[in-house]
Amino acid sequence: MTSMKKAEQKIVVLTGAGISAESGLSTFRDNNGLWENHRVEEVATPEAFDRNPDLVHGFYNRRRQALSEVKPNAAHLKLAEIEPLYQSFLLVTQNVDDLHERAGSQNLIHMHGELLKKRCVLCHQVSHQRNDLSVESICQYCHQQGTLRPHIVWFGEMPLLMNEIMLALMQCDLFVSIGTSGTVYPAAGFVEVANQSGAHTVELNLEASEQASQFKESFHGPASSVVGDYFN
């Protein structure tokens, strides 16, 4: 597999919060997994949103605002730079930030949604969102109040574009996982699918993830250096 030229390879890259850490965005399982004393599971569920929409809107409003203070780092830029060199290249990110787009990545799936989008629970329209959302916000399509939510995949909800992702995993020659703890499914299971498809599988992470033993190769260190080293 490693003897194949890049131009002959089909690659799937999975990224997680660790790739954006050096841009200044916190990962989920930092600080004992707490965000302002709340566990991510307490704010990232549909039940939490039903119970306390102000808390959940606040969580996403702050993270949306933080996007204007950060920029892509060397790892995001490297992935955009190498994309055209492969026969096919799919970047699947669990991240809801927009740093891959800003780095120039093209074939990109945000499997857990996007901070810069909202969705109406009534008319299901998805649209761009830069400002804060609240229970008072009004849907621009159906004109109802209190029906807008962040376009984010919460625990218990189906990640986006799973058919496209699974098809690419079943056809790829190389699967590279970057900056993810391997604790959240279905993304944590992608390495197993890629292995079963006969792909070469590589982990690039600060430390050994929960899925480390499944990868054929692992390189540990900050994404800004391990991603550059691996793809050079």
Active site residues: 112
- Which residue number places its CB atom closest to ligand BJW? 18
Nearer to ligand BJW, 63 or 216 (CB): 63
Query: Contact positions toward ligand BJW, by CB under 6 A?
Result: 16-18, 21-22, 27-29, 40, 44, 94, 96, 112, 152-159, 162, 179-181, 183-186, 205-207, 209, 222-223
Distance CA 214, CA 224 (A): 23
Q: What share of the chain is helix, strand, coil (3-state, %, to 5)?
A: 35, 20, 40
Q: Least separation, in Å, of the C-beta of 155 and ligand BJW? A: 4
Nearer to ligand BJW, 138 or 208 (CB): 208
Nearer to ligand BJW, 114 or 173 (CB): 114
Give alpha helix (H) positions in the chain: 18-21, 40-43, 46-51, 53-66, 74-82, 99-103, 162-171, 190-196, 223-231
Q: Least separation, in Å, of the C-beta of 190 and ligand BJW? A: 11
Four-residue CA torsion sign, 184, 186, 192, 198? negative
Cα-trace Rg, the chain: 18
Q: Least separation, in Å, of the C-beta of 7 and ligand BJW? A: 28
Q: Least separation, in Å, of the C-beta of 204 and ligand BJW? A: 7
Distance CA 220, CA 225 (A): 10
Nearer to ligand BJW, 61 or 209 (CB): 209
How many degrees, rounded to 5, is the angle at CA 179 between CA 174 and CA 185? 80
Q: How far is CA 91 from CA 36, 88, 145, 195, in A?
A: 31, 10, 36, 18
Q: Which two tokens stand for residue 164?
A: 């496209």
Nearer to ligand BJW, 146 or 189 (CB): 189
Q: Least separation, in Å, of the C-beta of 8 and ligand BJW? A: 28
